[in-house]
Amino acid sequence: MLRSGAGALLLACAASSVNAATPAATPVLNDIADAYAISLGAKAGALNYFVSRRAPGSSDDTAVSALVAFHGHPRDAGRTLAAGELAARQAGRVADTLIVAPLFQVASPASERCQSAGVPAAQPGDALWTCSSWMAGGTAKGSSVTSFAALDQLLADLKRRWPRLQTVTVTGFSAGAQFVQRYIAFANPPAGLSVRYVVADPSSWLYFDDVRPAPQRNGQPVDWRSCTQTSGESACSYVFAAPATPQQCPDYASWKYGIADMPATLGRTASEARQRYAQADVAYLQGALDMGDGPGTAYRLLDKTCGAQLQGPYRLQRGLAYLAYDQHMLSPQKKRSLTVVPGCAHNVSCVFPSAEAAPVLFPTTGR
């Protein structure tokens, strides 16, 4: 199901707002949250995570749910946490919900390519990844502990520290959404937690077979860009088939774009990973303006490899196509939905606190 707060995708894409192009000021993470760390083992080191400070009158006893929000490529955990906190406040959920922002640390000088202001630098004893390895389940430096396994341990630590937790929504924006979308297929959350997932504006997606989308309308192929310039009734439909000339992109079906050549450290077969994803509680979010190469689209960070380009030209188109893939080929019984947020481009500070995102990030069931 495609959902848009503007009613029609054309109206959503024509909308504009200051938030779509202008990020919010970056907060200092330690000023707005309490820091925690969990040991991933002697060889791996510690994973740091941050929990937004509780509202006046709240106590740990009132925390029955959590929003675990993963940062983007710049490792902007402070901005991501602040966006999640604002979203919770506007949804009336600050009293019963923990807002959690994990931080995948990268050692200097490599971290200079993916560092945000207000985020603490890596310290001795921290688990370390590269700027991109954590997105696809890579292992912490010097160990066999994957970033996926690190999230499993984080969820277990949350349940230990806040034993009344019942439900957790794991979400990510941009690179964080790439991480979450792939983690779903390999998750091993602790017993006693109901876990759901929200994937928001990733640059690329994990497909579970060799087919890729091709847009069409009335049975005829159309240009990708026309799929979000509808004049009322519909966007494109999609056909799914293997590329006609796969030799031009020989690795398109390999990890992290497909399930071929998956790292053994992930611990599941391709069929097991597909089944796990198909059974999970998953929803999708997209900014209506997260397309093209204009201001606010973070086009510089868009994955432009051939494996990603076969999924669509821009993030919005890739998300729309993946929804169709999910609904028709992956998990039709789940009737998963994609919510398009009007007026937002590639900006977590716009997407997460939006009225459209509220019921996706903070569902009323299970409260």
Contact assessment for residue 330 and residue 322, using Cβ atoms and an 8 Å cutoff: no
State the pLDDT confidence band at 15, using cuts at 50, 70 and 90.
very low
Predicted local distance difference test score (pLDDT) of residue 12? 36
Beta bridge partners of 241: 212
State the pLDDT confidence band at 322, using cuts at 50, 70 and 90.
very high
- For every residue of 289-354, DSSP letters joined together read T--SSSTTS-GGGS--SHHHHTT-SSHHHHHHHHHHHIIIII-GGG---EEEETT--S-HHHHTTS
Predicted local distance difference test score (pLDDT) of residue 9? 37
Predicted local distance difference test score (pLDDT) of residue 26? 74
State the pLDDT confidence band at 229, using cuts at 50, 70 and 90.
low
Fold of 2-205+259-361: Rossmann fold (3.40.50)
Pick from 26-40, 107-121, 136-150, 225-239: least confident: 225-239
Q: What is the mean pLDDT of residues 113-135?
A: 96
> How confident is the prediction for the chain on average, in pLDDT?
90
Q: What are the pLDDT digits (tens) for 327-349?
A: 999 999 999 999 999 999 999 99
**Does the pLDDT of residue 14 top 50, yes or no?**
no
Q: What are the start-end ranges of the H helices in 111-254?
A: 147-161, 175-183
Q: What are the pLDDT digits (tens) for 16-38?
A: 333 443 445 678 999 999 999 99
Q: What is the mean pLDDT of residues 233-260?
A: 90
Q: Which of 104, 93, 153 is nearest to 361 (CA)?
A: 93
State the pLDDT confidence band at 365, using cuts at 50, 70 and 90.
low
Predicted local distance difference test score (pLDDT) of residue 196? 98
Domain residue ranges in the chain: 2-205+259-361
Predicted local distance difference test score (pLDDT) of residue 231? 39
- 179 vs 172: CA distance, rounded Å: 7
**Does the pLDDT of residue 135 top 80, yes or no?**
yes
State the pLDDT confidence band at 367, using cuts at 50, 70 and 90.
very low
- 18 vs 52, which has greater pLDDT? 52
State the pLDDT confidence band at 60, using cuts at 50, 70 and 90.
low
Q: Is the pTM of this model over 0.85?
A: yes
- 286 vs 316: CA distance, rounded Å: 6
Predicted local distance difference test score (pLDDT) of residue 232? 41
State the pLDDT confidence band at 236, using cuts at 50, 70 and 90.
confident
**Does the pLDDT of residue 277 top 80, yes or no?**
yes
Long-range contacts of 306-309 (CB under 8 A, 24+ apart): 306/248, 306/249, 306/251, 306/252, 307/204, 307/249, 307/251, 307/252, 307/253, 307/254, 307/257, 307/258, 308/203, 308/204, 308/257, 309/249
Contact assessment for residue 281 and residue 197, using Cβ atoms and an 8 Å cutoff: yes
Predicted local distance difference test score (pLDDT) of residue 22? 43
**Does the pLDDT of residue 240 top 90, yes or no?**
yes
